[in-house]
Structure 1
Amino acid sequence: MWSSRTGNPSTSSFLAGPSQRHRTGRASASNFDGEPTELKPLSNKFSLSADPQTWGMNMSPHLPEPDDDLHNPTTMYASPRGALPTVGCLGILVLVSFTLILKYMNDHNKSTGTPLGADASGKASPTSYHVPKIPENFGLIDLDMPKDAYTIKSWRDGKDFQLMFSDEFEENGRTFYPGDDPYWEAVDFHYWLTNDLEWHDPAAVTTNNGSLVITLSKKSTHNMDYQGGGYVITSVQLPGINNVVGLWPAVWVMGNLGRAGYVATLEGLWPYSYDACDVGTLSYLPGQRLSWCTCDRESHPGPRHTNSTYVGRSAPEIDILEAQVSDSIGEVSQSGQWAPFDPSYIWNNNSDNLVITDTTRSHINTYRGRITQETTSVVSQSAQDCYQLGTGCFAIYGLEYMSWINDGKVAWTLNAVGVGAQSEVEISARPIPQEPMYLIANLGISYNFGVVDVDHLTFPAVMSVDYIRVYQDPDNINIGCNPADFPTAAYIEIYKEAYSNPNLTTWVDDYGQAMPKNSLVDQC
């Protein structure tokens, strides 16, 4: 995963470093003299030995661990083995990933008093791009961006949308170790949550031939057998070939209050999208940690409703694509993850709320959810030639609230009533996610996602991203990870350790924080 290093709280990532590596390409931000430097990877500096006893841990077999489902069984974050459909952040493999945070709006507001993309009166203006300048082509809009793509027609109503961010990846040899890049950052750890077979390694991510290149190699790294690196609209060439199962490439977005792979931050936030005070905040999940029901003066990022109650906050997830293979045909699952749940995880998927454009290529996913999430998902045939071992083409995938794009066309649309109130289980509507969200692109391998045909997979497997672009309605510009109506910065700063330490696996037992009191179960 990647993260912004521009000042606001950044997201964390799942990439890792080799034991020995010369860093090439652009110099690190700390190398101001322009001379080439040899920098040791993070793994040399902070890696632990393979024996947990040397870490000072209590290895007694009688000591239960909150994340040890084998010896201390829980199913809070379990994933169904063999479940090919979308299963979301805690049920999907996120192996090589990168995270985008568009943050410069706050800097611009402070320096000029006007919003990014606004004229002197504060009104949104497509021509008033006063974006802070960053050296070496690192503004919000890539200088290599084609001018004819600065606007794009909305898939839903035909309105011209305005380009707010782009990365065309035209500069070869970019590296993504901490400090190397103003938007993307690769980190160094094993994504244990979905039983990954690989270690995440920044060495596996670079740019070449005008694309971001994410490589999954079969090699021994940190006692793991594989190594990986890390509208929205994106042009992607999927790894491998369209008829061999086992790889798990994905592009998705997640609410900024949760960090994929930093499980303590996700407890009680993923995959909620909820702003009501009723039994929907209480479920098999830990319960919505930051709900409307939160008692006054408890820890909550805000804001408040007009009646002074808190706005329900969460870490929702929307999957732009998760690629899979079924019956020797390449497919993509495009989905949203939700809590609280409909009865039997069956959302209101009638023809008014589930709109599939081409039923010969797309169908509703048979996987509906499980005890940790409900999913709204449609599976579509992917562009069969646009694979690493295909003809070399790229296919366009995207998300426009809430329509999913596959191969440059709308595949399906979810209308809000589909996840509306449900009287049978006494829950209110689950809002279409409004949280500030960050982008992740990843390539992985895990038996949690399904069969892994190691004998026929080709390594190294490479996922290539030609570009990533973000557009917005010019009348509703909203960029940043800390908007006034959904703030995140102060809360993340308070609990910074949880957002930077992937070894914290639960909010209460491991991190040692209390769940905020809730008016439905506590005395406020």
Structure 2
Amino acid sequence: MFSDRSAIGRVSSSSSSSSSTSLLALTLILLLITSINAGWIDEDTPRSAYTVVVPHAKQYWAPKHTKEPPHDDETWSPTESPTMTPTVASNSPSSPPTPSPTYTPTSTPTPDPLPFSNFDLTMSDEFNTNGRTFKDGDDPMWTAIDKNDYTNNALHYYDEGWAGTGEGSLNIRTSATKTSIVGFNDITLKKVHETKNFKSAMLQSWNKFCFTGGLIESEVILPGKHDIGGLWPAFWILGNLARHTYVGSSNNIWPWSQSKCVEEHVDSQKLSACLKTGHFGMEEGVGRGAPEIDIFEVQPGPVKHNTDQFGLMSVGQPFASHSLQIAPGKSSKRPGPGNWPGPGEWYEKPKLKFGPETCMNIAFYGTYNHFADAPSTTYDYWSDAISQNRQLGSKHFTGLHKFKLHWEPPSIKHGDGFINWYLDDELILGINGTSLKEPEGAEIPSEPSYVLVNTAISKDWGFPKTCPEGCGCKEYDCESVEWEKTCGFSPGFCDMLKSTEEGHSEPGANYKINFIRLYQDKDNPVHKVGCSTPERPTRKWIEGNAKSYMKEGDAAPLKKVPRGGGKCTGADNEDLRNICGGLSFGLCKNGGCLCQPGRTGPYCLSNDGFDDVIWDIQDKVKDLGLTAPLVTAPFVILIGMVVVVVAAVVWEGRQRRRKRLGYEQIRLDEKGGGVL
């Protein structure tokens, strides 16, 4: 009986061991499948959002300038503008406004040349986890910069603590809060000591998450009030070679989008195709840069269409501006700001498509870029902004609305490429790549680009065009009791930033982002995720010019993101950091967070995002004249899992063999001696 029991026991033990090993292998395989599908996809993304059907937009010709489009704000009242006749605009910004040419609208949409496509989700952030923070080193995808902004006559300081998650959304707060700064001004190239009277936040995915081509969208509630000017919320992408607000990284790189050699641009385009050597991993004969695509920049305010600065425009405040900013820009025969372009002065209308309730942004055609420390004016250049304004209403500041960008770089499938902008799935602007090539040889961008969301404050954006009588409009301070320092604001602006909005504990205006998602065509090899791709590498350039991407005192452009380690108490209260996000995210042990698999950050509050394909491998294989194999993150995980499974099987086999030979497992007592 005893031997029979032993035999049965051995068989049961063997079966149990085999089952355990099989279960382990199955678990590891399931984990592998999950990891392959993960990448940058937030686990909170609903399954219904994993695929989208991407039709070609219903693209319309521009409506007549004299006809006012319908408006979605019940407080809006149209004003007919006088009939305009075509006139050649002056190049002088100070010249009087020139009337718009009259364009004949078509009654039916332009037919689409390409069929519908299914795009798959490749990145998402749902911002559902409360308490996430984004200071440098907190998150694998986002960095909230903590520095002064010297661009665009900015009145704000970007504070890393003014961005966070709560109530299922990302929140960017803007407040009338002072910051004293001692630092280096990237524009004047001098040390400065100044005080900024406003704080806001900017999130960047620079050198963490980038993509080339696809459809990116976000659902947002805009900050502030629709009829009070002064805030500048934005959602945009920028080539990875330039890091915004780090001006040294963008000089003669922003917003270049020209891959071919043009001798007259050798100085002005730092990474010109005319250069005969391919340093820092750059391909010889391929021009590089950092073009900018503004998915939206919003300007609230009370000024209606066909009045004041919008006297010749059928869209007034509040509006969203949707732009492609590229270089080289038109170097001569340009329209002046506020003037409608005359014949040959701007990009051809037949290759630009406009949606309803939109108007060409004739207030801004681009920038003349001059650098004080450049050896000669040959380093100067024009950059162009092809921009369309879309009328908004009060509802866009009180409820969620979806802004979307479809970007197709030049490819065999899409020719010279195109870009389409949408609001709530309705076309705003469409640009065909052939329209860019003719004036100066610019192209639809093909650079790996990162994502930015921010709210800025600038006296150049939405502030009253004309200062009140006796007001110098030189200082802007909501906390001052001096009239001269508050007279330049839009009425109600300071009160708006000093008040606390419902559902918030701190004063300020709140820009709420419900989600950000990216979809790409798996059958299009041009669509990629990664900041340094084979066609457009950036890693070695950034490493070789690291100081241009750092502020004074930084040890590196970006800090590494730790997996746990944040201080915790284990107290189950409203602060998820104290419990490391909870059992599904992490554990608090000995006062520090330990993260579960798939979670990262000091408090385990972030998904552990990664590129599915590692395009730019940091190794020395190529130095031997060999070609390195393509390494993917799932491939590395698979190899590791195979090793674990093999080790488990070997261990189980050894245990069974030891039992057959009569070995008995022993345990020592607490004093280290004797068999228990």
Counterpart residue number, 1:307: none
Residue identity in the other structure for 2:275 = T
Following TM superposition, by how much is the alpha carbon of 1:455 offset from its aligned partner in structure 2, in angstroms? 3.7
Residue identity in the other structure for 1:141 = I
Cα pair 1:262 1:502 within 8 Å, conserved: no
Q: Alignment partner for residue 430 of structure 2, among 413, 428, 431?
A: 413
Equivalent-residue separation in structure 1 for 2:33 and 2:201 (angstroms): 37
User: How big is each residue's C-alpha offset from its partner over 1:2-46, in whole Å with a ceiling of 9 and x where there is no partner?
Assistant: xxxxxxxxxxxxxxxxxxxxxxxxxxxxxxxxxxxxxxxxxxxxx
Q: Alignment partner for residue 244 of structure 1, among 228, 239, 247?
A: 228
Counterpart residue number, 1:368: 365
User: How big is each residue's C-alpha offset from its partner over 1:141-188, in whole Å with a ceiling of 9 and x where there is no partner?
Assistant: 111101111111214242111100000001111111222212112232
Equivalent-residue separation in structure 2 for 1:379 and 1:132 (angstroms): 38
Partner of 1:218, secondary structure, is coil
User: How big is each residue's C-alpha offset from its partner over 1:237-275, in whole Å with a ceiling of 9 and x where there is no partner?
Assistant: 111111111111111110001111111111111111001
Residue identity in the other structure for 2:333 = S
Q: Alignment partner for residue 145 of structure 1, among 24, 34, 45?
A: 45
User: Does residue 145 of structure 2 align to residue 187 of structure 1?
Assistant: yes
Equivalent-residue separation in structure 2 for 1:262 and 1:254 (angstroms): 13
Residue identity in the other structure for 1:145 = T
Residue identity in the other structure for 2:273 = W
Alignment of 1:421-460 (within 5 A): 421-422=438-439, 427=440, 429-451=441-463, 453-457=489-493, 458-459=496-497, 460=508
Shift in alpha-carbon separation, 1:331–1:249, aligned structure 2, 3 A: same
Alignment of 1:49-68 (within 5 A): none
Equivalent-residue separation in structure 2 for 1:480 and 1:293 (angstroms): 26
User: Does residue 372 of structure 2 align to residue 344 of structure 1?
Assistant: no
Equivalent-residue separation in structure 1 for 2:553 and 2:223 (angstroms): 30
User: Does residue 514 of structure 2 align to residue 466 of structure 1?
Assistant: yes
Following TM superposition, by how much is the alpha carbon of 1:330 offset from its aligned partner in structure 2, in angstroms? 1.5
Equivalent-residue separation in structure 2 for 1:344 and 1:251 (angstroms): 31
User: Does residue 293 of structure 2 align to residue 321 of structure 1?
Assistant: no
Choose between structure 1 and 2: higher helix proportion.
2
User: Does residue 201 of structure 2 align to residue 229 of structure 1?
Assistant: yes
Shift in alpha-carbon separation, 1:449–1:482, aligned structure 2, 3 A: same
Partner of 2:42, secondary structure, is coil
Equivalent-residue separation in structure 1 for 2:395 and 2:421 (angstroms): 20
Residue identity in the other structure for 2:515 = Y
Counterpart residue number, 2:28: none
Cα pair 2:422 2:429 within 8 Å, conserved: yes
Cα pair 1:314 1:435 within 8 Å, conserved: yes
Partner of 2:219, secondary structure, is strand
Shift in alpha-carbon separation, 1:146–1:430, aligned structure 2, 3 A: same
Partner of 1:264, secondary structure, is helix
Following TM superposition, by how much is the alpha carbon of 1:130 offset from its aligned partner in structure 2, in angstroms? 4.4
Equivalent-residue separation in structure 2 for 1:415 and 1:128 (angstroms): 39
Cα pair 2:236 2:293 within 8 Å, conserved: yes
Residue identity in the other structure for 1:322 = E
Q: Alignment partner for residue 390 of structure 2, among 369, 373, 380?
A: 380
Q: Percent identity?
A: 31
Partner of 1:386, secondary structure, is helix
Counterpart residue number, 1:60: none
Cα pair 1:261 1:502 within 8 Å, conserved: no
Following TM superposition, by how much is the alpha carbon of 1:196 offset from its aligned partner in structure 2, in angstroms? 1.8
Q: Alignment partner for residue 322 of structure 2, among 327, 331, 334?
A: 334
Residue identity in the other structure for 1:186 = A
Shift in alpha-carbon separation, 1:356–1:503, aligned structure 2, 3 A: farther
Which entry has the higher C-alpha Rg, 1 or 2?
Answer: 2
Q: Unmatched 5+ residue regions in structure 2?
A: 1-31, 57-114, 181-194, 203-214, 305-316, 336-344, 370-382, 408-418, 465-488, 498-507, 555-676
Alignment of 1:155-194 (within 5 A): 155-156=55-56, 157-194=115-152
Shift in alpha-carbon separation, 1:271–1:243, aligned structure 2, 3 A: same
Equivalent-residue separation in structure 1 for 2:360 and 2:491 (angstroms): 31
Q: Alignment partner for residue 406 of structure 2, among 392, 400, 403?
A: 400
Residue identity in the other structure for 1:154 = V
Cα pair 2:320 2:391 within 8 Å, conserved: yes
User: Does residue 542 of structure 2 align to residue 492 of structure 1?
Assistant: yes
Counterpart residue number, 1:52: none
Equivalent-residue separation in structure 2 for 1:431 and 1:295 (angstroms): 21
Give the aligned length: 353
Equivalent-residue separation in structure 1 for 2:366 and 2:127 (angstroms): 36
TM-score of the aligned structures, taking structure 2 as reference length: 0.50
Cα pair 1:348 1:417 within 8 Å, conserved: no
Residue identity in the other structure for 2:282 = G
User: How big is each residue's C-alpha offset from its partner over 1:268-289, in whole Å with a ceiling of 9 and x where there is no partner?
Assistant: 111110012224525xxx5000
Q: Alignment partner for residue 249 of structure 2, among 265, 276, 288?
A: 265
Equivalent-residue separation in structure 1 for 2:33 and 2:287 (angstroms): 34
Equivalent-residue separation in structure 1 for 2:461 and 2:293 (angstroms): 17
Partner of 1:498, secondary structure, is helix
Alignment of 1:470-485 (within 5 A): 470-476=518-524, 477-485=527-535
Partner of 1:344, secondary structure, is coil
Residue identity in the other structure for 1:296 = T
Equivalent-residue separation in structure 1 for 2:360 and 2:548 (angstroms): 36
Equivalent-residue separation in structure 2 for 1:357 and 1:209 (angstroms): 34
User: Does residue 166 of structure 2 align to residue 208 of structure 1?
Assistant: yes
Cα pair 2:420 2:431 within 8 Å, conserved: yes
Shift in alpha-carbon separation, 1:375–1:503, aligned structure 2, 3 A: farther
Following TM superposition, by how much is the alpha carbon of 1:418 offset from its aligned partner in structure 2, in angstroms? 1.6
Equivalent-residue separation in structure 2 for 1:301 and 1:345 (angstroms): 36
Equivalent-residue separation in structure 2 for 1:454 and 1:357 (angstroms): 30
Residue identity in the other structure for 1:314 = G
Cα pair 1:290 1:300 within 8 Å, conserved: no
Partner of 2:300, secondary structure, is strand
Q: Unmatched 5+ residue regions in structure 1?
A: 1-126, 134-138, 305-309, 505-524
Residue identity in the other structure for 1:146 = P
